[in-house]
Chain A
């Protein structure tokens, strides 16, 4: 808890305490803690001198600003049309089997979360996914298995 408070203080020092610092601060918190906890959102509100509801309202608007705990590695599988046509479902099933979780869930060791996302801009190489910020395209069962195994070893 004190770590979160420290982090937010230093982020507010870096980005400033005006309203337009809200997005960069929230993005940085998600990058380091995987999600925005109630404590984090309350603390951000305090630093920026705005209502906690404003922070929560803004956070929940954006699909990448999670307000529930996520794994260290968030896998987002693109579900938009060309990735859908080129077999996103097989990719999801393969990951589900490997990690023993269902879509929308997080592994018990808090290492992986598996989610759907809308178009990520790799339509010419579908099916494509993001693992945190890294994109992977032209996937098939074999390739995705290799990638996930590599992350499992990390």
Chain B
């Protein structure tokens, strides 16, 4: 573990007094909070990596006084399970982060959108909410958090689809712009952040932007939770400093026979062994919401890709043609090549199709199918054919 710096910020123990950090933050002005958030360089932990402080600033600057804070707890990316662990062990930090955001942007209402698969967490979350509400009263902050459940749709992790779902509709992504900071849930200015991002916001208030910035690299500040699974002797959740190479990661978590690492889930990139050394995990290399799936040489990368496409085909909302039909055609295509019905050159056509999906799909789902598709097909071509 010499090259990987393990940190213990997110799962660190609660303060002795409940909601102590939140109480201290209540004394700061909205401007001070936002300034500190921008200064920290924190980027969203859901995967897309937008600067959190800016998101808050834009929303705070909107004219409409009715604003919302939304916590995206629709953790559906294959290989990701860190938000579940956060919500299980330190939910207080998440609610604190949401309240800090509410104070910063002047929101009176917040939603936590929890995926249906995590329904079992609801009773404990409600218990914590009761304690949270008591303390808010004490601080004099007029802010109310409501938990809304998802019902088994991956696409609802896409922010605008999530808003649609809260509004009681099919989880179909909206056109952007307008962005959530202008028109989010109920078409009102909204800050939507990942579970881990809210915890980070609370940590920045606790330790200060200066301390937070000491961790990570210029492009990837702070620590990050990694969900490690697949062919590894120690699957689980680890908080690590950003900016390590895939090689560092594999040396620590691989089983000695690692062939490839899928960074960022099915929507992310597959890194083959020959690129371990030169690939940095972070926004300057391959970004990740935390999903790290390890494959050893006993695995067929054709089966891995087949599994991903099957996933996307089912989870595509079906609204736009490139994604709906594209996923189906990619599936048919790789199956035909594998059966020998199509020449290996057909893979080139499929790669073109995935590129087209990247340019023409309406939301991140269809746009990111090409990530895993091209990184697997190009690096493991033989396995696709034979």
Residue in B76, B79, B168, B262 whose CB lies within 8 Å of A22: B168
Q: Are B117 and A121 in contact (CB under 8 A)?
A: yes
Interface string of A122-152 (1 = CB under 8 A from B): 1111100010011100000000000000000
Give the segment of A54-62, A93-101, A104-112 that binds chain B.
A54-62
What are 28 contact pairs spanning A and B, CB under 8 A?
Answer: A18-B168, A19-B169, A20-B168, A23-B148, A23-B166, A24-B149, A27-B151, A57-B170, A58-B168, A62-B171, A64-B151, A80-B311, A81-B79, A81-B230, A81-B307, A84-B303, A84-B307, A85-B230, A117-B152, A118-B78, A118-B152, A120-B117, A121-B81, A121-B84, A123-B229, A130-B117, A135-B117, A135-B120
Docked-complex contact A58 and B170, CB < 8 angstroms? yes
Q: How far is the CA of A32 from the CA of B202 in the complex (A)?
A: 38
Interchain CB contact under 8 A, B227 and A61: no
B78 touching A80, Cβ below 8 Å = yes
Residue contact A61 to B171, C-beta cutoff 8 Å: yes
Q: Does B75 contact A (CB under 8 A)?
A: yes
Are B237 and A124 interface neighbours, CB within 8 A? yes
Q: Please classify how large the interface on chain A is, using the bins under 10, 10 to 19, 20 to 34, 35 or more.
A: 35 or more
Q: Looking at chain B's contact residues, is the secondary structure mostly helix, strand, loop, or mixed?
A: mixed
- A interface list, Cβ under 8 A from B: 18-24, 26-27, 57-58, 61-65, 79-82, 84-85, 117-126, 130, 133-135
Instruction: Decide yes or no whether B367 CB sits under 8 A from chain A.
Output: no
CA of A122 to CA of B236, assembled, Å: 9
B369 vs chain A, min Cβ distance (A): 15
B274 within 8 A of A: no
- Give chain B residues whose Cβ lies under 8 Å from the Cβ of A84: 303, 307
Contact code string B74-117 (vs A, CB < 8 Å = 1, else 0): 01111111001000000000000000000000000000000111
Q: Which of A18, A22, A123, A134 has the most CB of B within 10 A?
A: A123
Instruction: Assess whether B79 is in contact with A62, with CB atoms less than 8 Å apart.
Output: no
A118 and B151 contacting across the interface, CB-CB below 8 Å: no
B144–chain A nearest beta-carbon distance, Å: 15
